[in-house]
Structure 1
Amino acid sequence: MKNSKRCTLIIYLSLVFFNVHAQKDTVLVCDVKFKNPKFNNKHAGSAFLLNYKGKTFACTAKHVLFFAKTDSMKTISFNNSLKSWSFTSKVNPENKVIAGKLLNENTNEILTMPPKGDWLVFEIKSKPSKNIVVHKLRKAPLRGGEQLYFMGYPYKSSKPIKVKGSFIGFTKDKNLKLNVPKGIYNGCSGGPVFDEEGKLVGLVSMGYFNNKENKMIFEPASTDYFKQIVNNNN
């Protein structure tokens, strides 16, 4: 009887170990370190990996730079102040990707809100772990009322959230408009927005509560700017 219980416990612990280590991370956090450590931020925003034209990129929101900057940074440029930018899982800390070149670094673009084309697109220095999801772009146009999802890590949360919403249409700047449940989503900026098949359609950007209509409106950045950045660097 004791041997049977011991065997059951071993199997249970093995399953727990397997499930923890086999989990795939759909969304990551930005762990940013500067040469001056007083500006370091372990959770500047959320992020994800995206494959396009056979190459994998690490992506987050451009406005994340407001939480990952030195006092002298006024443009979309690190001015040689950055030590490292990592994309890390809070659930599985061993799942990490180190950023390489920032493709849309621009010393002439002022860091302002709201930013135009709210994407930061990094090359990565090494092949990502198989336990990190690499998203792919959706090709078909979105349909009104279609169910979409976004993911991100709220600040002080050790686990990501997945929120379901419906596609309303496009903003005047051609970003997406989603109707999502009212909530506190600070820290989720830069997370992925995808359809029911897991194909990426946008990046978590701006959001606000519409008191007149009594609903939360999310305005993810569309993928147009991302494609523009990558195509201009090829």
Structure 2
Amino acid sequence: MITLPPSERDLHAYVDHKLSDEDRQTLETWLAAHPEQAEQVATWQLDAQHLRAAMSGGMHLPHNAALDPAFIRQRMRRSSYRQYATAAVLLVAVSVGGLSGWQARDMSFASSVPPMADAVQAYRMFATKDGMASDWTAEKTSNVQGWLDQNFAQANRLPDLGSAGFKPVSGRLTSTEQGAAAMVVYEDGTGRKLTFYIRPPGPKNHLLPSGSRRDGELQADYWSGGGYNYAVVSKADDPAAQLARQAIRQPI
């Protein structure tokens, strides 16, 4: 005796003519009031007819449960479920792989950029050209530290390079992907220049160990402190600049 609403097993039994007359009549009455389920059952009946017709030539063979129409339909549904599950797993794998690939790309890109490359570029763009617009000049006010503090809270103090004959003469604000940066130009009595550069740390809050590197004719000495990265850039072979580097109070 079936119960209503019928289970999927009852519906398959109806399609395969395995219900009693009483249960078949009960189910047909229920299907008449539920057209969506009736349409599904009609589709199964058509499938069953096709399967029986295709296998009609082998009916003399022993019964094979794997060829039962209900079993075949169930197997087809399970296969569909597996395909959906496989597709979902592949989608997750591709998503995770893509994210990992972008992260690896970012890490690779960050590691391929020399330390404080923007500081060296800023020197070449601004310190070597006269008449460039400045945001701070010694003529406006001598308090260059105050000007920097307005834009970089808790930053390390400017290096005092007076013992090497260099003093701040101008400053310029620039920008990076991480935020504002600034360059202060120092000059000695003979017109030789070097620059002090400050910027927020790079990707993933990348602070720098103290170090030094050469880039063509320039040398960059860099370090971190107070949440910022710093560099002093100067001519690599200039004896006056070498004295200035020795005077930098930060360990490099």
Please tell me the TM-score bracket, short chain as reference: 0.3 to 0.5
Q: Determine which structure has more spread, i.e. the larger CA radius of gyration.
A: 2
More helix by share: 2
The TM-score with structure 1 as length reference comes to 0.34
More strand by share: 1
Higher relative contact order (CA 8 A, sep 6+): 1
